[in-house]
């Protein structure tokens, strides 16, 4: 439940910022900083199983990768063993295999297939 001060703050944001400008500008600022200035693309790990590290912690839902990164770069970013034992990757959206040299695109959802 929101208290009166919180409700007043939200009303202020709605009336003075959102209604006037259409947004707070935070997303635009992040888009410019991350995607244009830092030249990164957002890539999502995909697959049937949740990806976890050796401690059982779920890996992040999104990775920021430098522009021109490949599927193999992404495999190494997920875990060194995925990179060393890389077999192929799958584009989860199209269900098509992609090779290690595939250049990642903004919003790709990639499943890494690796050996033991």
Q: Are residues 60 and 83 in the same domain?
A: yes
CATH number assigned to the domain comprising residue 65: 3.10.20.30
What is residue 100's predicted lDDT score, i.e. its pLDDT? Answer: 96
The total domain count for the chain is 2
Q: What is the DSSP string of 100-112?
A: TTPBP-TT-EEEE
Residue 71 belongs to domain spanning:
39-116
What is residue 20's predicted lDDT score, i.e. its pLDDT? Answer: 87
- Does residue 69 or residue 13 have the better pLDDT? 69
Give the Å distances, CA to CA, from 57 to 50, 74, 90, 110.
10, 18, 23, 19
- Residues ≥6 apart with Cβ < 8 Å to 46: 90, 92, 109, 110, 111
Give the full edge-to-edge strand order of the sheet including 109-114: 63-66, 40-45, 109-114, 86-91, 96-98
Q: What percent of the chain has pLDDT over 70?
A: 90
What is residue 41's predicted lDDT score, i.e. its pLDDT? Answer: 94
Task: Please say if the pLDDT value at position 96 is more than 80.
Answer: yes
The residue-averaged pLDDT of 37-51 equals 81
Q: Are residues 91 and 46 in the same domain?
A: yes
């Amino acid at each position: 439940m929101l208290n009166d001060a919180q409700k007043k703050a939200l009303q202020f944001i709605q009336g003075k910022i959102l209604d006037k400008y259409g947004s707070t500008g935070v997303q635009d600022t992040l888009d410019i900083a991350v995607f244009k200035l830092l030249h990164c693309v957002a890539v999502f790990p995909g697959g049937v199983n949740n990806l976890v590290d050796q401690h059982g912690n779920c890996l992040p839902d999104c990775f920021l990768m430098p522009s021109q990164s490949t599927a193999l770069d992404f495999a190494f970013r997920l875990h060194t063993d995925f990179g060393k034992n890389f077999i192929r990757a799958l584009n989860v959206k199209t269900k098509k295999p992609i090779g290690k040299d595939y250049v990642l695109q903004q919003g790709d959802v990639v499943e890494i297939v690796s050996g033991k």
